[in-house]
Structure 1
Amino acid sequence: MPEGGDRKRIDAYPRLFADMARELFAQGSTEELLQRIAQMAVEAIDGCEEAGIILVDRRKREFQAPAATCEMVRESDRAQMECNEGPCLDAARHEQSFRVDDMADESRWPCYRPRAVDLGIGAMLGFDLYTYEDHLGALDLYARTPGVFDDDAREVGWVFASHAALAIAGSQREATLREGYTTRQEIGEAVGIIMERRRLTDEQAFEVLKTYSMNANTKLREVARRITRTGEIPDV
């Protein structure tokens, strides 16, 4: 049976995660959401002093580190990317969680490990961020003292990461839809300007836009944005 203090803490978890879910889905931009996730991880998970997020851009085959609670985490992310190895990259690449009880005793990551020790990293705990539709990256927790992450922290972190992944996926979908709507609107406005200035049909005006985009090797939305902002129509 759990001790009194442990029982009280366990009973508080449902409220914690319910409040967390509401707060995360209320964030504005994806950037704000990611930073708040890192901050809340420090607040919610025992032993966690700092936190960061690494995301996977599969189209560009690269990693991004958009959120960190301190410079130590940013330096850790930079070291892993420069070494092309490390616990956070492993979690993001291989869709797995990890636990490092004492970084000084680690035999993995021969390039990253000494740099992590120099940064003052004692222990780490990380979770892959995924939904049923996609693998997003990893949530990484840091402590300066070795051995502070117990099984309870791992269990709470896993549930926390699950909520965080859903919030991130929802925010990214919303951003994609918003960008698509804005792009269509800008293209429509640019086509309208070309139609009026050159007395063309909408199909002819769109062809002008598309031809310039190809000739200039510039994305269609960028050409449209330039026309709507300046009113200048390029020659094709």
Structure 2
Amino acid sequence: MRAIFDLVTIFRVAGSQDLADTFASVARALEAASDPTETRHVVTRTAVEIVPGCDHASISLIARRGGVTTVAATDEVVRRVDAIQYRLGEGPALDAIADHAVYAIDDLAQASRLWPRFVEKAAKEIGVASMLCFRLYTADDTAGALNLYARRPHAFTGESRAVGAILAAHAAVALLAAGQHENVENLETALASSREIGTAVGVVMMRRNVARDEAFGFLVDASQRLNHKLRDLAEVIIEAPDVIDRLGARVRQR
């Protein structure tokens, strides 16, 4: 019921030119993804397209503050199945992450010994019959799991496991790269915002002859009253310092 596949097994089963071409296309699609969200959806869509027997796919990621959450899913079926695992605290996706392993479930209805509460809900209420769960990891970290689902028992073959393992390896690297890129962009945006707000505070200090704390409080107050983001208001003040006088008059009228 549980299986771990090494690289020799993978390439013995799946080492064909067609597969090489397929994953070359997958790599290009992942590289072209514009952000982490798109990267995740490329992975799940690709899983359904290329893994034999796969009807549904999802990605579970470890949240920064603990716990696990589904960040991409091909449909509502897998979101429901994943949610059952998270709520009950048991299931193959969670064990794939915790045990650093691959879980291959040929017939979920027969897996009640491992996950009795999960099987009761997923197999009997939602109709999922087979599962393949791959840990998503790099040399430095475990990010989560790639979860593949099928509606019929014994849907996943040796080829399914091999192709899924290669896709999971691609996905882990792509998700890490996308996350790092997003972090850099967020940092650059935050730094740009900080510089603009700092410049605007300096303009208010000079224009109103007040200390830094009072100038910053003036900006925050004006931002809240106008329902504008602080950065947007800072840009306006930098471009047109006279705005400060009008904002000051509104403050005195309150």
Distance 2:119 2:58 in 1: 17
CA distance in 1, matches of 2:75, 2:149: 10
Alignment equivalent of 1:33, drawn from 28, 39, 64? 39
Q: Is the 8 A contact 1:55 1:92 kept in 2?
A: no
Q: RMSD value over aligned CA atoms?
A: 2.7
Seq. identity, %: 30
Query: Does the CA contact (< 8 Å) of 1:101 and 1:124 recur in 2?
Result: yes
SS of 1:46 mapped into structure 2: coil
- The two structures have a TM-score, normalised by structure 1, of 0.82
Show the counterpart of 2:16.
10
Matching residue's letter, 1:68: A
Separation (CA, whole Å) in 2 of partners of 1:150 and 1:205:
67
Cα 1:209–1:198 shift into 2, 3 Å: closer
- Counterpart of 2:48 in structure 1 is 42
CA distance in 2, matches of 1:7, 1:65: 30
Residues 8/110 of structure 1: CA separation in 2 closer, same or farther (3 Å cut): closer
Match of 2:230 in 1: 227
Alignment size in residue pairs = 213
Q: TM-score, normalised by structure 2?
A: 0.77
Query: Aligned partners of 2:105 and 2:59: how far apart in 1?
Result: 17
Paired residue for 2:154, among 125, 147, 164?
147
Measure how far apart 1:9 and its partner are: 8.5
Question: Is it true that 1:157 corresponds to 2:164 in the alignment?
Answer: yes
Larger-Rg structure: 2
Aligned equivalents of 1:182, 1:30: Cα separation in 2: 17
2:14 and 2:162 in contact (8 A); partners too: no
The runs of 5 or more residues in structure 1 that have no matched partner are 1-5, 214-224
What does the per-residue CA deviation read over 1:76-99, in whole Å, with 9 as the maximum and x for residues that have no partner? Answer: 011111101111111123322101
* Structure 2 runs not aligned, ≥5 long: 1-11, 221-227, 235-246, 249-254
2:59 aligned to which of 53, 56, 61: 53
> Using the alignment, how far apart are the partners of 1:8 and 1:193 within structure 2?
60
CA distance in 2, matches of 1:188, 1:206: 16
